[in-house]
Amino acid sequence: MMFSEADLTALVITFKLAVITTITLLLLGTPLAWWLARTHWRFKFMLEAVVALPLVLPPTVLGFYLLIALGPNGPVGGLVEWLGGRPPAFTFAGLVIGSVIYSMPFVVQPLQDAFSTIGRRPLEVAATLRASPLDSFFSVAVPLARPGFLTAAVLGFAHTVGEFGVVLMIGGNIPGATQVVSIAIYDHVEGLEYAHAHWLSGGLMLMSFIMLMVVYALNRRFRVVRP
């Protein structure tokens, strides 16, 4: 016996969640980080504070507000229901929404740092070499920010895998639907099933280690920024 069927399902859900969350975060976080790195807007600090909020907020606080917002009586859940959909509370979609918000700073901050480090000069050079702003973003800014993208992807992924409080609050720990590995481990320990807890914990640790090794090997300049 290695993993029970429920454990395997939890593993699959966890990685599906981490992959979808990371992709969503890179798509949303890149333009946001780019804008934050380049704008001279005087109230930029307010937006930066909002993005960084999950770093300091207890996950249960964030999970609680999300649960209320995404539930059938909340503004988002109510709207979805009115549109004929299912309120995202206690669903996989709810997990994704919660994870995206919770892991946002881990993606936006390394990207913003990377874009700031590049500075304006390479983009000015690109402009004098006939590259439009969009062209120079993809041909200069993104390649130069590669270490930042790697850091962002790894941190976003790892942080989502390691999430507990938010997914517990918003997902409700429904086996086969919203139960992720970290909660499954907790359940095993609660039920004194230490063998199961070992397999899951050890497996997660091994996978995290391999993932980081691969990334380090791919990019020598890569640094994991401690949040």
Which residues contact another protein (rule: CB under 8 A)?
Answer: 121-122, 124-133, 135-136, 139-140, 143-144, 146
Under DSSP, the state recorded for 138 is: I
**Least Cβ distance, residue 149 to another protein (angstroms):** 13
**Least Cβ distance, residue 122 to another protein (angstroms):** 6
**Least Cβ distance, residue 29 to another protein (angstroms):** 21
CA distance 50 to 147: 24
Q: Which is it for the CA torsion 206, 204, 25, 45, positive or negative?
A: negative
Which CB, 124 or 218, lies closer to another protein? 124
CA distance 151 to 111: 8
CA distance 155 to 92: 21
Which CB, 10 or 114, lies closer to another protein? 114
Alpha helices in 39-161 (DSSP H): 44-56, 59-70, 75-82, 92-118, 121-128, 133-136, 142-144, 146-161
**Least Cβ distance, residue 127 to another protein (angstroms):** 4
Which CB, 46 or 125, lies closer to another protein? 125
Which CB, 125 or 207, lies closer to another protein? 125
Which CB, 122 or 175, lies closer to another protein? 122
- Tokens 């086996």 sit on residue: 175
Which CB, 24 or 139, lies closer to another protein? 139
Write the DSSP assignment of 45-61 as a string of letters: HHHHHHHHHHHHS-HHH
CA distance 86 to 206: 37
Q: How many CB atoms lie within 10 A of CB 216?
A: 15
**Least Cβ distance, residue 113 to another protein (angstroms):** 17
**Least Cβ distance, residue 40 to another protein (angstroms):** 13
